[in-house]
Chains A and B, each alone.
Chain A
Amino acid sequence: MAALTELTLAEAKEGLAKGEFSSKEITETYIAAIESARDLNAFVSETPERALADAEASDKRRAVGEAGALDGLPIAIKDLFCTKGVKSTASSHMLEEFVPPYESTVTSQMVDAGMVMLGKTNLDEFAMGSSNETSYFGPVVNPWKRKSDDQPLVPGGSSGGSAAAVAARLCLAATGTDTGGSIRQPASFCGIVGMKPTYGRCSRWGIVAFASSLDQAGPMARTVQDAAILLQSMVGFDPKDTTSAELPVPDFQAVLGQDIKGMKIGIPSEYRIEGTDPEILALWDQGIKWLQDAGAEAVEVSLARTKYALPAYYIIAPAEASSNLARYDGMRYGLRVDGETLADVYENTRGEGFGSEVRRRILMGTYVLSVGYYDAYYIKAQKVRKLIADEFSAAFEQVDAILTPTVPSAAFAHGEKSDDLLGMYLNDVMTVPASLAGLPGISVPAGLSSDGLPLGLQLITKAFDEETLFRVASVLEQSAGFTARPDGGA
């Protein structure tokens, strides 16, 4: 039998069901893997004792025939999800010591399904970043390295710790959250599958808020099937989130392996964005060919306002963030830094508690919401958002899914883009449009760059059509046959 960390989540689930190994055994294997890969800095908190207790409880449940959908499977949780009794920091100094007395809806469903929690993964502070370099707890190292040099690379962000942990075989799968690309972009950089469901599929309750009209949780895994299995336990209506969708949840796995003959796949030429790595454009063409070979028809669609999605996002997301993060005032929880007056306490607490990227975004958000600028920036961005959403709706009258690259580049080195603010923001240029429109998207690893780094392709479908998304993604995955592995870490 292969090493337990080599199994996919689906294989591990089957192995546990057949009694080939216990949850305790696979959990111990993963705990050891995490300990030996601390140089990646993928975890903010390792929870080996909790994991072993979870595993023993799972083995007991299985012995009496009560195993749930994720029973005994070792999984990592992005440290943006509140987990009862376990520090939940959002990778911020502000919440460095925060121990929630409650559990997020998504993770509580995963606990009910029997998961083993290995720990909390590193992220960009408050999920604001595309390289995991804004974390208060230091950057995460991508387990992949370029052929041409030995420089540590970023895993992408904000769910960089989760992506690195999945790629380096430090967990079977992990949760992420995606506001403008924070699941899909790191998935592309780390050679794994990352999926953002439709806005409203996963409850946001108990997830530290960044931009509430965009934030969505989703699975990060090594295969499309694994992502479908994990998502199944994450979704569902939750009355505690007013934007939670009260809709039936399909069986996401049921569509895997179904053919895509006759399906129409939209190809938006506007995603041939200037500055995109030519290798990525070639991979995109290859992806189109794979889907055509599988019987689908490629159809040109126009998403003419694509280039305006990113600037609209960088008004809307900071505006919502400035409002959401007003709660960190040093009074009821989180950091407090004393001062002469009450205003001083607020200002000192927030001055020390937030890192530079979070501070910049709060200030940007405060600016665009301030008197005199509200209409010119914030309302304008919301109107552009509406036009972008309408363009997608029109496209989905013609096609079943849209195929694009996930990111314009492969993973870059630590510090390489730190001085280039807008260059860093451009990482999300291909993922942000679907976020603004609330649509589901998935990044599937599809090939390697000439320098040996993974590259992903993105699929997008209409709202609440995750079944089509998984169905096409599964075909894309099979055609790509991506089996490359990172050298470091694992």
Chain B
Amino acid sequence: MSVDKSTVARIATLARIKVPEEDIDALADELSKIVGWVEQLDEVDTEGVAPMASTAEGTVLRQRDDVVSDGDRRDDVLSNAPDTDKGYFAVPKVIE
């Protein structure tokens, strides 16, 4: 299946990536190429096969004790923030 320009624009919006208009043609072309190539998987009979999400599927998920193991690290947490205010993350205005 080929990926057209409107699909590129749609998935770029879904991925929240601004794609300049002049890049869209090339991306449609590249993604079409990749998608066309991965479609060779249709040759493989996967009837009744359980999808494998991880090779660690056999391991039992652990639960840790429900206690505080870390904390009091406000300055560390904020140390890489693009903007902070009074010990909080400062973000662009969301609600008008």
Contact = CB atoms under 8 A, between A and B. Distances in A.
Contacts of A254: none
Interface string A364-386: 10110010000001011111111
A83 to B, nearest CB: 14
Contacts of A389: 52, 55
Contacts of B87: none
Contacts of A377: 35, 38
B30 A421 contact: yes
Interface in B37-96: 37-44, 46, 49-56, 59, 61-62, 64, 73, 76-77, 79-83, 89, 91-94
Given A335-B82, A350-B18, A387-B46, A314 B34 contact: yes
Interface of B: 3, 7-8, 11-20, 27, 30-31, 33-35, 37-44, 46, 49-56, 59, 61-62, 64, 73, 76-77, 79-83, 89, 91-94
Given A242-B62, A314-B34, A336-B82, A199 B91 contact: no
Question: Which 7 residue pairs of A and B lie closest in terms of their CB atoms, listed nearest first?
Answer: A438-B55, A351-B18, A382-B51, A333-B80, A336-B82, A101-B76, A383-B46
A101 B92 contact: no
A445 interface: no
B52 A386 contact: yes
Contact of A384 (B17, B20, B44, B81): B44
B54 A243 contact: yes
Contact of B38 (A307, A311, A334, A343): A311
A347 to B, nearest CB: 4
Nearest to B91: A331
A246 B56 CA distance: 11
Given A315-B38, A385-B52, A334 B80 contact: yes
A200 interface: yes
A306 to B, nearest CB: 12
Contacts of B76: 101-102
A354 interface: yes
Interface string A333-366: 1111011011111111011101000011011101
Interface residues of A, number: 70
A245 interface: yes
A364 B18 contact: no
A183 B66 CA distance: 37
Contact of A351 (B17, B30, B56, B80): B17
Given A370-B14, A385-B52, A421-B30, A330 B82 contact: yes
9 contacts: A305-B44, A314-B34, A315-B38, A347-B18, A352-B18, A354-B17, A367-B11, A377-B35, A389-B52
B17 A363 contact: yes
Given A213-B54, A360-B27, A366 B59 contact: no
Contact of B80 (A243, A332, A344, A360): A332
A312 interface: yes
A362 B64 CA distance: 33
Find the residue from A352, A363, A366, A387 having the highest chain B CB count within 10 A: A363
A421 B32 CA distance: 12
A329 B16 contact: yes
B interface SS class: loop
Nearest to A362: B15
Contact of A200 (B31, B41, B56, B89): B56
Given A363-B17, A366-B15, 7 more contacts: A200-B59, A308-B44, A311-B39, A329-B16, A333-B80, A364-B31, A383-B52
Contact of A383 (B35, B49, B79): B49
Contacts of A363: 8, 11-12, 15, 17, 27, 31
B41 to A, nearest CB: 5
Contacts of A364: 31, 34-35
Contact of A243 (B13, B17, B59): B59
Contacts of A421: 30, 33-34
Contacts of B91: 331, 342
Given A336-B82, A367-B35, A379-B51, A350 B15 contact: yes
A484 to B, nearest CB: 35
A437 interface: yes
B51 A386 contact: yes
Contacts of B83: 336
A239 interface: yes
B38 A437 contact: no
Given A239-B64, A311-B40, A359 B49 contact: no
A233 interface: no
Find the residue from B7, B61, B82, B94 having the highest chain A CB count within 10 A: B82
A242 B61 contact: yes
B59 A387 contact: no
A455 to B, nearest CB: 26
B92 A345 contact: yes
A378 to B, nearest CB: 8
A99 B8 CA distance: 34
Contacts of A362: 15, 17
